[in-house]
Structure 1
Amino acid sequence: MAARIAFTPAPLPRRQSFPFIVWVRSRLPARWYDRHLQRRDLREIDDHLLRDLGLTREDVRRECAKSFWQA
């Protein structure tokens, strides 16, 4: 009589949702809000500090005119 060997399959790895959707739900709104805050702070910098950064008022105006989702 042949001995029977019990076969238990390895557990399947847990399936994750699409990485892009996970990223969008968690990281994208935070990135947009951070970009909004950075542009708001940039608008408030005085001319002396802008000169130290190598930026002009026109550079700042152009950057601040962008929407929050634009890089």
Structure 2
Amino acid sequence: MSFITILLNGAQMSCAPNTSVLAFLTDQNIGQEISQNGVAVAKNGTILAKPLWDDIHLQNNDKLDIFTLVAGG
């Protein structure tokens, strides 16, 4: 089986080709954490709507960034 390389918050990772964003994040044991409100995922600089996480698939050299919104003053 071949694997592709992606960057998750700057760290190099690998997964099977055509893995969905949701499946990848779940495999990394962070799927449940990011499903909460206040967390966003960007693929190659574009924020992904949560309902699409299972429909968008990863390709070699994709870059995923996870953002947590923090309130403060």
- Give TM-score scaled by structure 1 length: 0.29
Structure with larger RCO (C-alpha < 8 A, sep 6+): 2
Structure with the higher helix share, 1 or 2 = 1
Structure with the greater alpha carbon radius of gyration: 1
